[in-house]
């Protein structure tokens, strides 16, 4: 029977119990209860003013939408404020999932299916065996009914809907379910010592090894990992995911699972299971949560066994249009002018994982039109477009980019996308194509736009051909966005101020960074943003290319002609509060910094054109005052902060420049949904792959219980606002 304590203003406990035939009655009572209106609470808390409220109420009448939704859309409240208001309105506790970890005991009480269906997070189980559930919709009657029947007793807390959605993936981490299969594998292996070497892979879908591999793939796909690294070490096999460009440990497997996991993956991708020393690569497809995912696999023998890297391609990812890539409005018109031309070549450059493919595809959607024959040659075909002829390359079958390109050129193409130019043969054919009336789009591994030109000529293409064929080069990187859930202000290092002022010509209103929370796995970053530079091959640049000018000479002229470098664009994002100086320094390689700085003449009160960069000294870096930063100082700082000489581009160097994987004592780490390892104040030594145990003092007071019907905001509630208590300071947002 559901015990519902009658509440006074302070008593925040409401719970439902399925054992009672009174459940329906209780739910009805819960729904019918008189409550203050949301608008009133928002007003009292000073979150919105009466004018905004009246306006929103009117919109509510006209559209029938919920008040909370309307205010959210208008940016007048945020989700956390809304959760605070709902807690106030319903007299229930608010759960801030940025700071609280669901207890695995509670998670085990609610099936994943049910939790996802009703968008609730089981937070903990109290002494009375009530399961506390966090919901964004306290009036969700169906959810209350079904969850109460499932758990017997529940208690409701309110939380932000998007936090709940993200936490679902963490709480129901597929890897936490891998554990039982690992144990099962260990049991079998103990019985039969030969297991780790034998290739006994008659495909039993229930075999522990199959299950473990499946879990890894499922979790990688859910966590939006671009790559999975399975690495045999001396004592264990470490599985790491690359998410948003950074690797982090996802799970560790017993060492003896290494060979069977490798064999299983080889079977899936039709590779030679017996071959363990020669590198092999292949591919297979899996289906995760209804999404078809292509997996490219590469296997290489190492001293401790085979290292496997899986690259995941989610074919359902929606294509981004050029407008939404985040290319600055200063660059976009020139970019479009280049890609709309009937002939020429646009190259996209950057290290692996810098978003080149996304840019190429976005460009393709821009140029596609039914009057043109658009053909792509790709390795692999990552997205499939309607109306475009896409040709996959298969090195294994002996079809190279050059072969594909030759074939396609006989088919009257207008626009050709060559996935990547890797060799002189492809470079030569692509150049010829661009010179003979076709528009060619391609990518090239190079540090930045200017270096791409040299990379091309270094391959052996004559400078005059490059100069004539290439119409523009895009250089790009992805920067991490500051997590909006844990953004905090901080005192910047004087160098940060100087660099930002120097490159962006302005400073952020407030210096912010992510403090680290559950939503960003403690990294302080969530999501990424692209930063671009566009080298237009103008007459002057063309002459420089033909004259074999240095990268610096070319860059200086490009900047003088108005090119905004990646560094400048990146620091503008710092000034806009989107990312941090640290991430810019980590991601945006900066050759020839001085040339870039010379372009900054719009800094108020500083005449940069008078200063000779040669006169540099160390004196520039001083007390943090920004106002009269001089050119000398800027250059000095830049010189300190970046390598003096552009290092030759090496893909491996980029791998290394990625943030060092967070090394965590495995006994104190857990995986969060995004696959990143976070430090968990662990009580019971559960290791990764597990949702962090909580037991860490972050639990909310053992209070409220559950209820009903979920409307996020006020819909279905009595129409008048009322009420009082100020929203707790923490939700009032910085």
Cα distances from 61 to residues 178, 406, 494, 594, 713, in angstroms, run 50, 63, 52, 59, 14
- Asked if 673 is part of the footprint of Zn ion (rule: CB under 5 A), the reply reads no
Q: Which is nearer to Zn ion, 667 or 733 (CB)?
A: 733
Q: Which is nearer to Zn ion, 362 or 519 (CB)?
A: 519
Q: Which is nearer to Zn ion, 348 or 486 (CB)?
A: 486
Q: How far is the CB of 676 from Zn ion (least distance, A)?
A: 11
For strand 415-418 and strand 439-444, is the pairing parallel, antiparallel, or unpaired?
parallel
Residues 565-604 that bind Zn ion (CB under 5 A): none
Q: Which is nearer to Zn ion, 511 or 654 (CB)?
A: 511
Cα distances from 3 to residues 7, 417, 640, in angstroms, run 12, 66, 67
Q: Which stretch binds Zn ion (CB under 5 A): 261-269, 518-526, 643-651, 662-670?
A: 518-526
Please say whether the beta carbons of 310 and 317 come within 8 A.
no
Structure tokens at 236: 């264990």
Residue 37: closest CA among 726, 709, 720: 720
Q: Which stretch binds Zn ion (CB under 5 A): 3-11, 355-363, 515-523, 698-706?
A: 515-523
Q: Which of 339, 520, 541, 680 binds Zn ion (CB under 5 A)?
A: 520
275 CB contacts (<8 Å, ≥6 apart)? none
Q: Which helix (H) or strand (E) holds 654?
A: helix 651-657
Size of the site for Zn ion (CB under 5 A): 7
3-state SS, residue 463: helix
HSE-up of 287 (CA within 13 Å, CB side)? Answer: 1
Residue closest to Zn ion, measured at CB:
483
- Asked if 95 is part of the footprint of Zn ion (rule: CB under 5 A), the reply reads no
Structure tokens at 682: 């662990």
Q: How far is the CB of 519 from Zn ion (least distance, A)?
A: 5
Q: Which is nearer to Zn ion, 515 or 575 (CB)?
A: 515
Structure tokens at 60: 């509510």
Q: Which stretch binds Zn ion (CB under 5 A): 158-166, 315-323, 329-337, 508-516?
A: 508-516
Q: How far is the CB of 99 from Zn ion (least distance, A)?
A: 10
Q: How far is the CB of 476 from Zn ion (least distance, A)?
A: 25
Cα–Cα distance for residue pair 362/6, rounded to 1 Å:
58
Task: Show the site string, 158-197: x = touches Zn ion by CB under 5 A, - = not.
Answer: ----------------------------------------
Q: How far is the CB of 680 from Zn ion (least distance, A)?
A: 15
Q: Which is nearer to Zn ion, 280 or 579 (CB)?
A: 579
Q: How far is the CB of 586 from Zn ion (least distance, A)?
A: 18
Q: Which stretch binds Zn ion (CB under 5 A): 148-156, 190-198, 340-348, 516-524?
A: 516-524
In the block, tokens 């299950």 appear at: 211
Cα–Cα distance for residue pair 555/544, rounded to 1 Å:
10
Q: Which is nearer to Zn ion, 225 or 483 (CB)?
A: 483
- Per DSSP, helices labelled H in 280-415 are 332-340, 356-367, 401-409
Q: How far is the CB of 485 from Zn ion (least distance, A)?
A: 4
In the block, tokens 């739910």 appear at: 27
Structure tokens at 335: 């970019």
Q: Which stretch binds Zn ion (CB under 5 A): 122-130, 198-206, 217-225, 519-527?
A: 519-527
Q: Which is nearer to Zn ion, 404 or 675 (CB)?
A: 675
Q: Which stretch binds Zn ion (CB under 5 A): 126-134, 192-200, 520-528, 605-613?
A: 520-528
Q: Which is nearer to Zn ion, 81 or 523 (CB)?
A: 523
Q: Which is nearer to Zn ion, 216 or 678 (CB)?
A: 678
Q: How far is the CB of 524 from Zn ion (least distance, A)?
A: 6
Q: Which is nearer to Zn ion, 408 or 517 (CB)?
A: 517
Cα–Cα distance for residue pair 445/352, rounded to 1 Å:
8
* Burial category of 192 from C-beta neighbours within 10 Å (exposed 0-12, middle 13-18, buried 19 and up): exposed
- Per DSSP, helices labelled H in 132-191 are 141-151, 161-171, 178-191
Q: How far is the CB of 521 from Zn ion (least distance, A)?
A: 8
Q: How far is the CB of 678 from Zn ion (least distance, A)?
A: 10
Q: How far is the CB of 512 from Zn ion (least distance, A)?
A: 12
Q: How far is the CB of 482 from Zn ion (least distance, A)?
A: 8
Q: Which is nearer to Zn ion, 476 or 676 (CB)?
A: 676
Q: How far is the CB of 495 from Zn ion (least distance, A)?
A: 25
Q: Which of 517, 593, 606, 669 binds Zn ion (CB under 5 A)?
A: 517
Task: Show the site string, 432-471: x = touches Zn ion by CB under 5 A, - = not.
Answer: ----------------------------------------
Q: Which is nearer to Zn ion, 96 or 633 (CB)?
A: 96
Instruction: Kindly report the number of other CB atoms within 10 A of residue 594's CB atom.
Output: 17
Instruction: Kindly report the number of other CB atoms within 10 A of residue 548's CB atom.
Output: 10
Cα distances from 676 to residues 102, 242, 472, 484, in angstroms, run 17, 9, 37, 17
Cα–Cα distance for residue pair 100/719, rounded to 1 Å:
33
**DSSP per-residue codes, 57-71:** HHHHHHH---HHHHH
Q: How far is the CB of 679 from Zn ion (least distance, A)?
A: 14
Residues 468-497 that bind Zn ion (CB under 5 A): 483, 485-486
Q: Which stretch binds Zn ion (CB under 5 A): 106-114, 213-221, 514-522, 615-623?
A: 514-522
Residue 357: closest CA among 220, 474, 246, 218: 474
- Our CA angle for 541, 542, 548, nearest 5°, is 90
Peptide bond into 380 cis (omega under 30): yes
Residues 547-566 that bind Zn ion (CB under 5 A): none
In the block, tokens 């496997």 appear at: 308
Rounded to 10°, the helix 494-504/631-641 angle is 110
Positive/negative CA dihedral, 56, 60, 62, 63:
positive
Please say whether the beta carbons of 256 and 189 come within 8 A.
yes
Q: How far is the CB of 527 from Zn ion (least distance, A)?
A: 11
Cα–Cα distance for residue pair 39/410, rounded to 1 Å:
67
Q: Which stretch binds Zn ion (CB under 5 A): 22-30, 506-514, 594-602, 676-684?
A: 506-514
Q: Which is nearer to Zn ion, 121 or 534 (CB)?
A: 121
Q: How far is the CB of 120 from Zn ion (least distance, A)?
A: 22
- Asked if 519 is part of the footprint of Zn ion (rule: CB under 5 A), the reply reads yes
Q: Which is nearer to Zn ion, 354 or 485 (CB)?
A: 485
Please say whether the beta carbons of 261 and 196 come within 8 A.
no
Q: Which is nearer to Zn ion, 486 or 636 (CB)?
A: 486
Where does this chain bind Zn ion (CB under 5 A)? 483, 485-486, 514, 517, 519-520
């Amino acid at each position: 029977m559901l015990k519902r304590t009658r509440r006074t203003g302070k008593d925040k406990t409401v719970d439902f119990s399925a054992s009672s035939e009174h459940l329906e009655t209780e739910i009805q009572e819960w729904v019918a209860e008189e409550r203050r209106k949301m608008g009133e609470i928002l007003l009292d808390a000073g979150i919105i003013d009466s004018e905004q409220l009246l306006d929103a109420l009117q919109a509510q009448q006209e559209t029938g939408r919920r008040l909370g939704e309307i205010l959210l859309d208008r940016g007048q409240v945020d989700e956390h404020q809304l959760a605070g208001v709902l807690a106030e309105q319903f007299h229930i506790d608010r759960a801030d999932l940025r700071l609280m970890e669901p207890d695995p005991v509670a998670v085990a009480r609610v099936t994943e299916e049910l939790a996802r269906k009703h968008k609730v997070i089981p937070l903990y189980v109290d002494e009375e065996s009530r399961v506390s559930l966090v919901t964004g919709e306290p009036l969700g009657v169906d959810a209350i009914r079904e969850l109460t029947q499932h758990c017997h007793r529940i208690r409701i807390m309110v939380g932000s809907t998007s936090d709940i959605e993200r936490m679902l993936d963490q709480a129901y981490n597929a890897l936490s379910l891998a554990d039982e299969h690992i144990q099962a594998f260990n049991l079998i292996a103990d019985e039969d010592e030969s297991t780790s070497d034998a290739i006994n892979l008659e495909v039993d879908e229930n075999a522990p090894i199959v299950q473990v591999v499946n879990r890894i793939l499922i979790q990688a796909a859910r966590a939006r990992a671009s790559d999975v690294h399975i690495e045999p070490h001396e004592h264990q096999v470490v599985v790491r995911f690359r998410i948003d460009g950074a690797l982090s440990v996802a799970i560790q497997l017993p060492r003896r699972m290494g060979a069977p996991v490798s064999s299983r993956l080889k079977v899936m991708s039709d590779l030679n299971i017996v071959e363990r020393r020669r590198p092999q690569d292949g591919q297979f497809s899996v289906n995760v949560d209804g999404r078809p995912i292509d997996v490219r696999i590469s296997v290489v023998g190492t001293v401790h066994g085979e290292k496997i890297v899986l690259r995941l391609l989610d074919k359902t990812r929606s294509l981004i249009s050029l407008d939404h890539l985040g290319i600055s409005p200063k660059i976009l018109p020139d970019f479009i002018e280049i890609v709309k031309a009937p002939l020429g070549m646009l190259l996209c450059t950057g290290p692996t994982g810098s978003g080149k493919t996304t840019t190429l595809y976005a460009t393709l959607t821009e140029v596609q039109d039914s009057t043109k024959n658009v053909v792509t040659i790709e390795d692999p075909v990552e997205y499939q477009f309607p109306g475009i002829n896409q040709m996959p390359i298969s090195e294994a079958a002996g079809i190279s980019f050059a072969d594909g390109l030759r074939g396609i050129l006989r088919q009257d193409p207008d626009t050709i996308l060559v996935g990547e130019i890797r060799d002189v043969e492809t470079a030569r054919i692509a150049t010829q194509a661009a010179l003979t009336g076709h528009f060619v789009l391609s990518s090239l591994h190079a540090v930045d736009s200017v270096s791409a030109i040299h990379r091309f000529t270094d391959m052996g293409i004559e400078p005059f051909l490059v100069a004539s064929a290439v119409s523009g080069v895009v250089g790009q990187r992805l920067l991490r966005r500051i997590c909006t859930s844990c953004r905090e202000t901080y005192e910047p290092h004087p160098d940060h101020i100087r660099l930002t002022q120097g490159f962006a010509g302005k400073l952020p209103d407030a210096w912010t960074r992510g403090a680290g929370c559950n939503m960003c796995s403690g990294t302080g970053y969530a999501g990424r943003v692209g930063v671009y530079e566009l080298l237009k091959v103008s007459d002057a640049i063309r002459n420089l290319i033909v004259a074999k000018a240095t990268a610096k000479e070319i860059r200086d002229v490009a900047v003088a002609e108005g090119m905004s470098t990646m560094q400048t664009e990146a620091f503008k994002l710092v000034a806009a509060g989107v990312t941090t100086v640290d991430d810019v320094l980590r991601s945006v390689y900066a050759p020839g910094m001085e040339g870039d700085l010379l372009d900054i003449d719009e800094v108020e009160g500083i005449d940069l054109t008078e200063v000779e960069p040669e006169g540099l000294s160390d004196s520039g870096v001083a007390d943090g005052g920004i106002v009269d930063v001089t050119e000398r100082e800027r250059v000095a700082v830049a010189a300190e902060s970046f390598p003096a000489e552009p290092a030759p581009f090496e893909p491996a160097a980029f791998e290394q420049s990625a943030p060092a994987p967070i090394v965590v004592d495995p006994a104190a780490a857990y995986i969060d949904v995004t696959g990143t390892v976070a430090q968990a104040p662990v009580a019971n030594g559960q290791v990764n792959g597990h949702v962090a145990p909580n037991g860490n003092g972050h639990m909310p007071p053992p209070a409220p219980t559950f209820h009903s019907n979920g409307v996020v905001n006020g819909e279905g509630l009595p129409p008048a606002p009322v009420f009082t208590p100020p929203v707790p300071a923490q939700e009032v947002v910085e």
